[in-house]
Amino acid sequence: MASWVILRALGLLCVTFLQGVFVERSPDAYEVIIPLRLASGSDPGLVYQIKTTAGQTYILHLLPNAALLHPDFSVYTQNSTGQLFKVPAFPQEHCHYYGYVKGIPGSIAAISTCSGLLGFWQTSTFTYAIEPVKDAESFQHIIYKVEDMETDPKPCVFVRVKRTPRKELYHKMRQTQNRQDSSQARLMQIYIVVDNDLFQYYHKNITLITDTVIQVLNMADAMFVPFRLQLVLSGLELWNIKNVVPSSEYVKMFLQDLVTWKEKNVSSRLKVDMTVLLRKDEIQDAIAGTFEGEICWSDNALLFLSVTHYVLPVVSGHLAHELAHSIGIPHDSNYTSECLCPLSPCIMHYGGVSATSFSACSLQYYNHFIAQGGGYCLQSVQSTSLQKRYTYQYCGNRIVEGEEECDCGTEYECIRDHCCNSHCKLRSNAQCSYGECCKHCQFVKPGVPCRKPVSECDLAEYCTGVSGICPEDVYSQDGSPCNHNRSRCVTNRCYDYDQHCQMLFGKGAVVAAKECFALNTIGDQFGNCGFQDKDGPPIKCETADVMCGRVQCETEQDIYIYKSHSVTVQTPSGNVSCLSVDFNSIPDIGAIEDGAQCDTGKICLARKCVDMSVLDFNCDIQENCSGRGVCNNNKKCHCDKGWAPPDCSYGGFGGSVDSGPLVLDSFISYIPPEQDFKFRDFEYRECPLETARKKEKLKRDLAIGLGVSLPLLAAGIILAVVYRHEIIQFFKK
């Protein structure tokens, strides 16, 4: 009887009891317990005490995950014709929590309390799942070790994208212009779609599916707390009538079909960072597929996940794995000796194993991805309540905080760390444990470049020899001339109309005549001065601001356009042809940036042509820097090679008091990247998507060829045999 109760309760987690999935497991793996809620004092969250039959006691400290659901969160379903419509809103109670286990560094907890406790907590040795016993007379719950529920590992497939050179140039430009502090908290807004097969499996119960999806995302979100990344569910789409995207034999082909679908059906109506398709069946024995590092390349910011395992913490771990790929985190299966996590295996282990914590290497990959600008589209968190989510400080969370000298994580992780000990102190022989200027626990010698300039307005930084951290990023003071005195530096950027046109339309494109910019007074997608709000209509430019709207170009070369984006050719007057481009699903790269010189003595700022004096540029290079350098954003001289700070009046090695000391021949300056604008089609580094289609076409062509040639060959042989004597006589003549 007890076994039946346990299995019946387990059916809650699986939504429906699937015969044969769990009966192979011994009921001894499950325990029936009654969680005890403790007083939380002034803490706004919840505290629960859980005792196992083995006598272990866990105290879960839980805080509300208030940002899990977007304020405009909606559920969409299909009508009888397959068209989407919004389900009438139903109240969403704040019953989803994240937290930690008291006394266990590096622990994670994610619990939903909507109807009992459902979720998981992870210790240094096991991950426990908890769920309520249905119709129990008391507050009974089941707990079990997630590791005991694991099935055979399944791989995922991630694709690295190779773009046309102009696309890559744009992507690099957006990244370098948006280098960010990796310690800043960010949001990832997610739109989740449930396919028809999974919808049927969940008994077509919209409420049940919605609750399950939110619970899965809440658990995945807890896994990203060390990243300071908040997952937000913006919307849920249910394919309750039919699958909009048919299945495919090949993962990469299916991903391409999803890209096409998303471009037409999601990007055109919603502004989200990531689209997730939850499906029931695998493809090519893979449970998931996504594009690596493509979170900010809108149409590629998607993934599919096959829900082949119905233990929700396992599903959430798989989801976290795929989301991590999208923010530049690869598998760490090849680095198991260095890439440790509080509880191995780690989430990014190859093979889709059950895991709930990321490795130290994954965190490093993410920090690098953000620092290089790869996550420029992810919204920074400004909310005080959200910032508090990441301010809980303790030794062992792999984040250096307060008086800590370092933080290597759990005791097990710190065993293999040669620089840091488990008390968050440097080891006796170590000078540092992290940073661009820390190598083998020692400071890198002074003068070694640690941050290269990424634009004409950027300035290099060099290791100091007394810190493992690269000096603060500095750049030319706003208002500094650049682009051969045709533009002004603004927040580390130097705008060039001609280069902008070449990026859009290829080599040979240049900025159009000024009369073309009158198109910006129309206020449509090709000519405007921005938008009223995120999803609002375009704003018409005032006549004085037309050079700050959208760039207008001309070229005598062939026009190469990006797939899925439209180009217009307009002729406002005479024989002048004006080119503009509409990018409808990625950030508007047709917009003219701040710093463009829109008129004599004027520059563009926030799509307005304003007097240059607003930049408060007060650097007299001749007087302040002896004519041998530029002023940085701290209004200090950054000297040219061969001259020394602070005023560049004496010989030296260059740099500034902010850049770190230089040594002989260590000076570096910005080198523009080579720009090859030769057009090439969208392709993949791994197994091109077209390969499968080409193989199928080859098979069809071969079948058709054989179908035609074999009968003709057979007929020829028969005729040759029948008329062999005549043929022999013919050749004897």
CB 450 within 8 A of CB 468: no
Phi, psi of 498 (to 5 degrees): -65, -45
For residue 192, give the H/E element and its range.
strand 186-194
- Give the 3-state secondary structure of residue 607: coil
136 forms beta bridges with none
- Give the 3-state secondary structure of residue 680: coil
Place of tokens 């356009």: 561
CB 658 within 8 A of CB 636: yes
Cα–chain center distance at 149:
30
CB 205 within 8 A of CB 301: no
Calpha distance 726→589 (Å, rounded): 76
- Give the 3-state secondary structure of residue 80: coil
For the chain, how many residues are written?
Answer: 733
Calpha distance 301→290 (Å, rounded): 8
Token pair recorded at residue 77: 């379903």
Calpha distance 129→50 (Å, rounded): 12
The one-character DSSP state at 155 is -
Calpha distance 288→157 (Å, rounded): 6
* 293 to 352, 416, 500, 621: CA distances (angstroms): 19, 29, 24, 41
- Residue 322 falls in the annotated catalytic set: yes
CB 273 within 8 A of CB 87: no
* DSSP conformation letters of 340-396: --SSSSPTT-TT--------HHHHHHHHHHHHTTTTTTSPBP--HHHHHTT----TT
Q: 331: annotated binding-site residue?
A: yes
**Crossing angle of helices 312-326 and 206-223, rounded to 10°:** 60
Calpha distance 94→233 (Å, rounded): 13
Q: 325: annotated binding-site residue?
A: yes
Calpha distance 281→2 (Å, rounded): 33
Long-range contacts, 564-571 (Cβ 8 Å, 24+): 564/263, 564/299, 567/505, 568/526, 570/516, 570/519, 570/526
| Measured distance between the N- and C-terminal CA atoms of the chain, rounded to whole angstroms | 100
Indicate which residue of 322, 413, 554, 593 is catalytic: 322
**Crossing angle of helices 251-265 and 689-722, rounded to 10°:** 120
Q: Which positions are catalytic?
A: 322
> Annotated binding site, which residues?
321, 325, 331
Annotated binding site for Zn(2+): 321, 325, 331
